[in-house]
Structures are given as C-alpha cells and as structure tokens.
Amino acid sequence: MGNKVLIVGPVPGPPGGVASLVQAMLDSHLGDEYGLSVLDTAQKGRLRYNPDVPGLLSPFYIMFHLLKLGYLLRKGQEQIVHLQACSSLSFLRDSLFIVIARVWKKKVVCHFHGMLCQQYPLFRCRILRRYFCFIMRYVDVLILLSPRFVSEFDTIIPRTEKLVVPNFAPSFNLADERSQSGVGVLFVGRLSAKKGVYDLLKAAIALRSEPAIHFHLAGLEETQADKNRILCELRNNHIQEKVHLAGYVQGRAKARLFACSDILVLPSYTEVFPMVILEAMAAGMPVIATPVGAIPDMVIDGVNGFIVPEGDHELLAERIRYLLRHPRERREMGRNNLRKFNEEYSLQVNIQRISKIYSSLLGDETRRAQWHVPEVQPAHLMENRDARQTI
C-alpha cells in the first residue's frame, strides 16, 4: 500500500505533548491502514531553555522543511497532509505548509494544538488574526482539542469544518510495588513561573511539617535564572529533603516516577490541553490543577481532583493536605480518573476518531455532512459532580 497520509509535525526527541501525540499515531494501526509517513519539524537538541524563543538556525530549518514538503508531495502518493499547528508565531511557518499542500492539490487536516486567546500574538494582532482566518479557507478539516474551543473559533471562521479530537495517551503499565513510602506529589513540565512551579514550592514550604509527604519535580528549567531561583528556594527554606528535582524524564524513568507518586499537581497560568494530566489519569492519580485551557473539561472539582485558582498557593496546599490525610477519597478520585481516561482519552478511542476523518476525506465512508462534535463529559461524572460532598 502506498502512503496516503503525510503527518507534518515534531516527533520525539524534544519534550512536548505534540511530539508524543505524533509518535502515538505513527505507532498505531493508522500506520498500516493509511500508510502514514512523517515530516519531522522538530529542532533536535533544543531542550534548554525557552522553547518559545526561536534559535539562530530556525530560518534554515524552516526553509529546509518547506523544500522537503514540496519534494515529498511531488514524489509521493499522499492524498492528505495532517499538519500539527499551534497558537504561537510558528503558525506563520505552518501556514506555508498549508499553501504548499494545496498547490499540490492535497487535502489538509490542521490539528490545532491551541486556542483562541489574546495572550497569543497570533490572535492579539489584528493583521495576524485576519491572516489566520484567510489561511483557514484552505483547510478541509480543523481538529480542535475541546468543544469549548469550537464555539470560540466559530466566531471568526464559521465556514471551516471543525471536529473535536482531544489529546490522548497510551495506557500506563505501572509496577505494583512502590519504591517509596508516604505520599508522592508529582509535577511534570517546564520549571517556570508560567507553569506555577513557584506556587507549588510555596505549597511545599507550607506542608514541610507533614512527615509523610514528598515532592517530585520533573522537567527542565526554562531559564538559568529559574534554575538558580529554585535551588535558592529549596536551600533557604530547608526543603531539599522534601523536594526531588528529577530533571527531564521520559520512557521507563517517567513511568517509575508516576509509579512512586500519588497526586499530580499542575498549577499553571497557561495551558491548552496538557498531556501530563492524561498520563496521570491513565495512572489512576487524582489531579490538582488550575482552570485554564481545556483543564475544566478534564478535571471536575471534587470528583477526579480539585480545581484551584491561578496563584492561590494557600488553597493549593490545603487541597494537597486534604488528599494526604484522606487516602480513601484519594483512591476514589484516582479510580474516577482512570474510568474517564478509558472512556474519553485512551489511544484506542481517539485513533478511531482520526481514522474516521481520514476515511471520510478519502471518500471511503461517512460524508462530512454527518460529522458532529462528540460529547466529552461522561454522564456518570456529571452525576457525581452534582452529588459530590462539600470539602
């Protein structure tokens, strides 16, 4: 079978949810069913520091990837280009991928890992916003991560076909035995202010008298200043023994870290659809997070975790303390998360959604007029939300 679909996006190496999502698609049955090929757009080795700041070689990478896309489409048999895009200024590069795909008369699926928000220059600047709307005319299907994003984008691009495919993750195969006693609190992400790592450190300081608790911070510092500040906070507040800096982890090391943790905390000030929450769900862990991006779709306060306002480190510490002292409720929230993951965010469920999009564009089955935005909130969780106890 010839390749029918070309995925344009990053693959691991670099850390990030989009790269792991692309790898999951390549490893799934989509590879055999549609003959997936990939144009890897990652800049390897750029782990440190700020991933949002372009490197000196970025223009050369962009030119190389544009030329390579044109070459692949001219030589290959691909009928669909599945582009991974986001709300950052990298969309300017991604828009050129869309133009090249249309020049070669290919169908375009834009998998948009972003949201309509003024914090992003793409939507804050009127000219860029209009440019985005213009480019969307040449997209056959726009994949969004949440139904709440669909209603937002309908206000600026009402004619573009939109479907919801939330982020997804493979199931975790965790070892039964635990490597540590006590209760482990896990943070995974960039160690920076916008990810709320300093709010978590303040919560850790407030909880340092709790003998059973320990914290794992996994990820790279966004800047050298962040690294120095974190080490200074640990040293000045005498919590070096409570807080373990695990660095960037993946594969088995990451699985081991989840296996020795009981609670995931993500006190971010900005997120779209964080993969780490899905991983915590798959591991059967309760989640404490802020109500940004699509997190309110994922975490229902009091049912499978807690929602805390951005910057409220005192409430964050209270919620961690509650789960520390109430193991039965902690385990019940973990079970709710595992159930929610299997129903909505598992690899099998969402690979099937993508398969239906491909087959429809290739003319194999259901026409686009029959497409609909799926619900992402299971009934049993909504019922539990209404009936949950006040904590």
Structural domain boundaries in the chain: 5-168+347-370, 183-343
Rounded Cα–Cα distance for residues 11 and 16 (Å): 9
Residue 180 is predicted with a pLDDT of 61
Below-50 pLDDT ranges, the chain: 48-49, 176-177, 365-371, 373-391
Q: What topology is assigned to 183-343 in CATH?
A: Rossmann fold (3.40.50)
Angle at 219 between CA 215 and CA 224, to 5 degrees: 110
**Residues 130-169: pLDDT tens digits?**
999 999 999 999 999 999 999 999 999 999 999 999 999 8
Residue 56 is predicted with a pLDDT of 57
Rounded Cα–Cα distance for residues 44 and 196 (Å): 26
Residue 344 identity: E
Rounded Cα–Cα distance for residues 9 and 18 (Å): 8
The CATH number of 5-168+347-370, from 3.40.50.2000, 3.40.50.10860, 3.40.50.620, 3.40.640.10, is 3.40.50.2000
Residue 328 identity: R
How far from chain centre, in Å, is Cα 251?
17
How far from chain centre, in Å, is Cα 25?
15
Which residues touch 330 (CB under 8 Å, ≥6 apart)?
262, 263, 286, 323, 324
Find the DSSP H helices in the chain: 17-27, 30-34, 58-75, 91-103, 121-124, 126-135, 147-154, 197-206, 224-236, 251-259, 275-282, 295-298, 313-325, 327-340, 347-361, 379-387
Residue 382 is predicted with a pLDDT of 41
Q: Which residue in the block uniquely carries the two structure tokens 């969402």?
A: 350
Q: Do domains 5-168+347-370 and 183-343 have the same CATH topology?
A: yes
pTM: 0.85
